[in-house]
């Protein structure tokens, strides 16, 4: 389908989805095209800067605080005051824009629901279009879901809705503006803003967003320019749009002040995106044999570099009157295993106690069953207060060396850790290729970020010849052998018919390519996305 926009052509290569007529209206596509034409060139320039910086890291450079922006870090500015429905963010639940999941999340008792077009959504054309339709219905309070014997609908009180578009690095290959794929970030944001910004304002809320995978304050500046242009174009008051930035890349950890400064009229806070941050550490320092990480399970929030990153985030946010939101609790309660639940709930509680004690204003969970646990912890610290902005954490003094204290004992690289990476990577990718981006694996809600950790750790261990605690060196042959064993296990578990009809073979090939081949693939979702419908 091809539609003529105001100053050129918008071509839609995905077809046949029921919601297309409501979501992909000519006016909405004109709006997306306007954003692409105005900001697409700068996006490409900033992505090129990412590649240049990575080349310097590969050559031995380490990141640091920018001398050129020192005045911003030293001045006493603050971000805009929060809107009423973002005053209290003590528990936030996340999930893809699946219809039933959205209803359950909005009804969960959490303060905020992050509707995700990014890491927990497999971006099939069907999922992307349906997600925008579901978002429209949720904003208007009309979203329902019919299941055998039950109808799901919204409660009278629901969580505040925040939307996460895809990152700057991705393109929506089903939509071309003047012959070029539109940036997925502008497509997701543009449709969500066009269809819902005015409606949200009329209902006493506003267009609120989470911004993923930023690597510099220049990328934050670009988002700020997008917000300003979108508000002007649709006559939405300036500053109505609010953004919380996920600090989930190493370069961004050195530019927290600057990121908030660039977005200061639109900023709500920063979030400690722990899984992507670990992936970024591996990716950015992939050429450094002294910065090899051990098993994922050993990289907890209390290891030195993670501790430094989160404490700096709280100090930075509160100095700027912005909210500091803690990391994800990914555990999925299992009613058939009370003992495992008890142990997992204890770990989740300890994690949230640490965050609340450090001064975070709220935290993330992936399942409605964790909302009461997280709420209980933050209620105990906050009481009647909506936040901890008054805790400025003047006791925190984080240096560049603290953020880079990455190398941890290699004795904690084990065969089981390697097997887990291979297993989780293949199983997650199989789910993703079927269109399911939030996958329950071993009682954890896995998304693209944890799959990225799995494959990038394997790449790092192979390329640096890491020796397992059991004595074996991690080689291509060993990884391939473990992948074959995992495929045999999956065949026995799911049955021969399902094993053949589901994309396990494609998932294995994709994982091994991303985990073993040169050059390093910047994002697993780039080659994986070419296999989606």
| Pairing of β 180-183 and β 150-153 | unpaired
Residues of the chain with pLDDT under 70: 1-8, 408-411
Whole-model pTM: value is: 0.96
The one-character DSSP state at 473 is: B
Query: Are 139 and 97 contacting, i.e. CB atoms less than 8 angstroms apart?
Result: no
Beta-bridged to residue 5, according to DSSP, are 8
- For residue 299, the SS3 value is coil
Range list of β-strands (E), 226-374: 242-247, 267-272, 323-329, 362-365
Q: How many Cβ atoms are within 10 Å of 441's Cβ, its own excluded?
A: 17
Residue 409: predicted pLDDT: 64
Residue 530: predicted pLDDT: 93
Cα 411 to Cα 18, 36, 92, 281, 299: the distances in Å are 54, 49, 36, 19, 13
Residue 84, token pair as written in the block: 């009423």
Residue 210: predicted pLDDT: 98
3-state helix, strand, coil in the chain (%, to 5): 50, 15, 35
Residue 144: predicted pLDDT: 98
Residue 209: predicted pLDDT: 98
HEC-encoded secondary structure of 259-287: HHHHCCCCEEEEEECHHHHHHHHHHHCCC
Q: Between helices 415-433 and 476-494, what is the axis angle to 10°?
A: 60
Residue 297, token pair as written in the block: 């399970």
Residue 133: predicted pLDDT: 98
Residues annotated as part of the active site: 164, 447
Residue 408: predicted pLDDT: 67
Residue 3: predicted pLDDT: 45
State which H helix or E strand residue 92 sits in. Answer: strand 91-96
Separation between Cα atoms, residue 213 and residue 5, nearest integer Å: 30
Separation between Cα atoms, residue 271 and residue 359, nearest integer Å: 13
The one-character DSSP state at 112 is: E
Domains identified in the chain and CATH numbers: 2-400 (3.20.20.360), 413-529 (1.20.1220.12)
């Amino acid at each position: 389908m091809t539609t003529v926009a105001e100053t050129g052509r918008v071509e839609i290569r995905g077809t046949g989805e029921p919601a297309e007529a409501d979501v992909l209206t000519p006016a909405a596509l004109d709006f997306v095209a306007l954003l692409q034409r105005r900001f697409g060139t700068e996006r490409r320039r900033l992505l090129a800067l990412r590649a240049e910086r990575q080349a310097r890291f590969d050559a031995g450079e380490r990141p640091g605080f920018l001398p050129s922006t020192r005045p911003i870090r030293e001045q006493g500015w603050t971000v805009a005051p929060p809107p009423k429905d973002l005053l209290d963010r003590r528990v936030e639940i996340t999930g893809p824009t699946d219809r039933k999941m959205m209803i359950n999340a909005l009804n969960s008792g959490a303060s905020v629901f992050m509707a995700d077009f990014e890491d927990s959504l497999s971006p099939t054309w069907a999922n992307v279009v349906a997600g925008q339709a579901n978002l429209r219905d949720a904003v208007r309070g009309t979203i329902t879901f019919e299941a055998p014997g039950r109808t799901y609908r919204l409660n009278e009180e629901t969580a505040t809705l925040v939307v996460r578009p895809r990152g700057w690095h991705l393109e929506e290959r089903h939509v071309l503006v003047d012959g070029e794929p539109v940036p997925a970030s502008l497509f997701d944001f543009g449709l969500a803003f066009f269809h819902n910004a005015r409606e949200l304002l009329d209902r006493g809320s506003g267009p609120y967003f989470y911004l993923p995978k930023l690597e510099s304050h220049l990328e934050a500046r670009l988002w700020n320019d997008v917000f300003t242009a979108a508000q002007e174009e649709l006559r939405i008051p300036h500053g109505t749009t609010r953004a919380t930035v996920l600090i989930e890349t190493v370069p961004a950890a050195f530019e927290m002040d600057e990121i908030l400064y660039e977005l200061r009229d639109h900023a709500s806070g920063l979030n400690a995106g722990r899984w992507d941050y670990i992936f970024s550490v591996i990716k950015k320092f992939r050429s450094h044999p002294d910065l090899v990480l051990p098993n994922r399970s050993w990289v907890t929030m209390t290891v030195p570099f993670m501790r430094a990153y989160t404490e700096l985030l709280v100090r930075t946010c509160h100095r700027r009157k912005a909210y500091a939101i803690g990391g994800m609790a990914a555990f999925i309660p299992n009613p058939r295993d009370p003992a495992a639940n008890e142990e997992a709930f204890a770990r989740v509680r300890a994690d949230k106690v640490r965050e609340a004690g450090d001064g975070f204003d709220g935290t993330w969970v992936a399942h409605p069953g964790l909302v009461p646990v997280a709420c209980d912890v933050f209620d105990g610290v906050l009481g009647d207060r909506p936040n901890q902005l008054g805790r400025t954490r003047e006791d925190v003094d984080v240096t560049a060396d603290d953020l880079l204290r990455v190398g941890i004992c290699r004795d904690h690289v084990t065969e089981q850790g390697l097997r887990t990476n291979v297993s989780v990577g293949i199983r997650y990718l199989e789910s993703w290729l079927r269109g399911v981006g939030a996958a329950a694996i071993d009682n954890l809600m896995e998304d693209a970020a944890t799959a990225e950790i799995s494959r990038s750790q394997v790449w790092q261990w192979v390329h640096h010849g890491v020796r397992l605690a059991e004595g074996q060196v991690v080689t291509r042959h060993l990884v391939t052998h473990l992948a074959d064993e995992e495929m045999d296990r999956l065949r026995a578990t799911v049955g021969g018919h399902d094993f053949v009809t589901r994309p396990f073979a494609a998932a294995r090939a994709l994982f091994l390519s991303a985990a073993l081949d040169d050059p390093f693939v910047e994002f697993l979702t780039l080659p994986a996305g070419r296999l989606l419908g």
